[in-house]
Each structure stands twice: as structure tokens, then as C-alpha cells.
Amino acid sequence: MADRKPIESWLTDMDGVLIHEGVPIPGADAFIKKLRESGRPFLVLTNNSIYTPRDLHARLRRLGLEVPIENIWTSALATAKFLDDQRPGGSAYVIGEAGLTTALHDIGYILTDHDPDYVVLGETRTYSFEAMTKAVRLINAGARFICTNPDETGPSTEGPLPATGAVAALITKATGRQPYFAGKPNPLMMRTGLNTIGAHSESSAMIGDRMDTDVLAGIEAGMKTFLVLTGLTRPEQVENFPYRPSKVVDSIADIIDLV
């Protein structure tokens, strides 16, 4: 990596990097503070599509992490950007929460269950069997199938929860149609995020706690990658993957001096 350009902009995952089970990870506040003081472009990313950037801004602020709304990038925003590029002013049947519906409203999409262009599946606290049945029937009738992210489980204080990827598998089984995932590890999420802050991949870095989403997305987007060990990936698991991060560190605290 010696011939890479110096890091001018930073992208970092949220859960497992900055916070863990609702508690800030030591060093996260100092890292965000230094980023803001440096004036370098940065984004905090999440594959979770439940919350709007405004919601996440308030949540992080309560934890002592001051991240401006414009520096938060979610899989819902990446999905909306993708749909706006593909079919401006289209329509969608949505299974999801405010983070997703707001993002689609903001690009001028009509949310409907009558002959929609797309069925869009995101994260939600209550997956309805009725809604999933309607999604299956609309996809069978010709709607295109889009998902915010492929995560099969999500974290909670009680243990793993079924997430978008698991529900997408159910719909795929019922329809025979594979969805297009807009979120990580799709490098589309990284590239659209970089575009929003005017950054370039060759001078950017991605920090994450998962090899199969964060690191993979960073590599495929052409970025330098840092794996932190405060989330899901253990040191011995790194060698199980056919690709490697640029660097493995214990936590976000080890990256502060690189900003």
C-alpha cells in the first residue's frame, strides 16, 4: 500500500466501530472530534435503514458523539439514490421504517401497493406476514425486487435478530427472484457516499468491524481498509477470507493519530 495517496477522507461504520450495544466505544468521541477539527470529509455509515440521519444524529449526540446530519449515510439513502438514478419519479411498495420511507419520499417517489415499479425491502421492527405476502404477489406480477442491505441478522442486547437478508431469502424462495442489494458490501453504497462529500476512493479509507461487508465494500470501492476488533470479527477469523484489510487494529482509538 506504500504507493497509495495519503488519506484525505474517512468513512466509518457505526455499530461495532463507534458504538457497541448502545454504548460508545472508547476513543470514538476523540476520533469524531479530531475528524471535525481537521476539516477532512467524513461519513458515518450504517446498513440499518430504520432510522433517518436526523434520528441517528440525535442518538449519537445522546451518547456524546457529535456527528452532523450531513455526515451520516445509510443504506436507505443509498437505495433512494440508486432508484432515483435508475427510474426517477417512480413508485415503490415499501416494507420498512421511517428511514427508508423518508428517503424515498425525498426523491419524489410514490409509495403504493398498486402496480409499483419496485418492491423495496428494508429493516423493520415488525415484519408483517401480510406485507411479505403482498410483496411476493407484486414481485410475481412484475415489480422489481430491491433490498436496502443483505445482513441476515442484526445486533440487540438480547442477542441476534432476523434482519433484511433473512426476510429477503424468504421472499426469494416464494418468488424465485433475487433482489438487488444497495447497501454494503455493494461498493455502490461507498461510491455514492464518497460522491456526497466530494471525496475520491484512492485517497479515502473505510473503517469497519466486519470482513464480509465493511472491508469487502471498501476494497471493491478502491479504498484503504481498517478492520477494528471491537465488533463481530475476531482476529483468528481474518485468515478465513480470500481478501485482507489494509490494517487490523484493536479499536477506533488506534486510528485517531492517523487523522
Question: Annotated active-site positions, please?
Answer: 13, 15
Q: How far apart are CA 198 and CA 233, in angstroms?
A: 30
Give the count of beta carbons closer than 10 Å to the beta carbon of residue 80.
27
Select from 168, 171, 170 the least CA-distant residue to 182: 168
Helices then strands, each counted (H, E), the chain: 8, 15
Distance (Å, whole) CA 144 – CA 174: 14
CA-wise closest residue to 203 among 41, 70, 74, 43: 41
Distance CA 10, CA 56 (A): 18
Cα–Cα distance between 54 and 252 in angstroms, integer? 23
User: For residue 233, what are the contacts with CB-CB under 8 A and spacing of at least 6?
Assistant: 209, 210, 211, 227
